[in-house]
Structure 1
């Protein structure tokens, strides 16, 4: 099933790529070269800019802390993205996470420290409309989940599972300053221990105000997950500041709609475009 879904997604991407090159200039202005600037969310960022041009690349470093009531989670990541062809983005990311108890009780249930895995992702922008100031893209993320350091040491078990995540993205500039973006798709998490597949749906809605001529913005990213368990909604107010040519820093907070298990979080992202 998963293999068929992945095959269909890539077939759709190829079809849309061919279609976008054949659409007349009344819809696309220089189809493979037109690129609209859209504000990119800082927590669940894009695999590459929508309408990316060949040769573009970006390196990101991130750090964050999250309150889980009885323990804290310290996370980070290294992420490299590049465009091997016009409108096509590829990304490699290595996230990691460490945990620390805050109540001093050794029996408190707490996840174990780990390098979370390796994320491999691709994204293709199949529509860039100057007339409607809109870009659309499809993509796919494959994440290999590593076992905790303790499990690797004691059991020699390196991989814990994998995630399959096809995505759809649509972004629109309502004015030069007001930008919206929707990032959505199902997530299938396969656990190798019992081979069960856990399914959820992600919906990430974004609204940003971009300061003209600067690339700086303020905005709100809303991360929503829906599964057989209760839905999760986290609001992430954020700001991005350009500190030099090719270097920017993003800062954001995480505010859960329901705080029974999770508290506030903060994260910073350093963005370098060499």
Structure 2
């Protein structure tokens, strides 16, 4: 009798071990099916279209609010954007920015202040074509297409859009494994007017970023150096910033703006609210 009970207990133990092995194997296979993704600190002002190495199904809503002290007027900017990964490592984005201009008491001529406007409809893609575990580096390229609206005070059915902005870009990011992150975002930008009275415009952007991410969190502090080359002119704005996790899927980013000269703008500030539906931090 004791022998039979021992056999039954042994069989039960073997079944439990087998079940545990199957479950563990399924988890390993499930993890193996997911492509490698390296964590990188994403800049908050000139942000990415989607996480580098994004996995299919990931998505994110962004709401941004900014204030910019221009020389002769103040600019207030708001934006709403949605980004999602349609397949592994391929992200898409749609964004609508709005600008409102107010007097700061320094205007010296009529017409100095631009008209309030819905700026544009921006669509973009980003493909991470290299994820190197050995170098802890991700590389991606993408493109932004921006249909620019005509100012609200002169918009008509025949001139809803005044032009198109085309902006291909390349991104290289490295996680240095000790909390430090670096990222370079660079590419040319063309403005192609639909109206012959407007001038074509070209500039080249070089954005370098350095961040420190607090271990075991998604919080970071860092700085963006937003540099623009255009018609023998060089501009750079230094943007110190921080990101704080409010909950598992809600973050807030705070950005300051300090131009190296005051040709067009003095100080600025920007806040970005980031919501990731169904996000699970891994």
Match of 2:131 among 124, 128, 133: 128
Give 1:229 shift. Answer: 4.6
TM-score (norm 1): 0.86
What secondary structure does 1:231 align onto? strand
1:18 alignment counterpart: none
Match of 1:100 among 79, 99, 102: 102
Task: Choose 102-111 or 264-273, whichever is displaced more.
Answer: 102-111
2:257 alignment counterpart: 254
Q: How many residues align?
A: 245
Q: Which runs of 4+ in 1 moved over 6 A?
A: 29-32
CA distance in 1 between counterparts of 2:180 and 2:33 reads: 24
CA distance in 2 between counterparts of 1:156 and 1:97 reads: 22
CA distance in 2 between counterparts of 1:190 and 1:30 reads: 45
How do 1:1-274 residues align onto structure 2 when only pairs under 5 Å count? 33-103=35-105, 105=107, 107=110, 109-152=112-155, 157-194=159-196, 196-274=199-277
Give 1:273 shift. Answer: 0.1
What secondary structure does 1:236 align onto? strand
Give 1:31 shift. Answer: 9.3
CA distance in 2 between counterparts of 1:152 and 1:261 reads: 26
Give 1:156 shift. Answer: 5.1
Task: Choose 202-211 or 185-194, whichever is displaced more.
Answer: 185-194
TM-score (norm 2): 0.83
Larger Rg over CA atoms: 2
Are 2:71 and 2:106, in contact at CA under 8 Å, matched by a contact in 1? no
Deviations 1:105-161 (A, max 9, x none): 5725111100001000000000000100000001010000001110116x8521011
CA distance in 2 between counterparts of 1:199 and 1:53 reads: 34
2:6 alignment counterpart: none
* Alignment gaps of 5+ in structure 2: 1-30, 278-282
CA distance in 2 between counterparts of 1:240 and 1:231 reads: 28
1:12 alignment counterpart: none
Aligned-CA RMSD value: 1.7
Deviations 1:10-58 (A, max 9, x none): xxxxxxxxxxxxxxxxxxx969610000000000100000000000000
What secondary structure does 1:79 align onto? strand
2:13 alignment counterpart: none
What secondary structure does 1:142 align onto? strand
CA distance in 1 between counterparts of 2:263 and 2:169 reads: 29
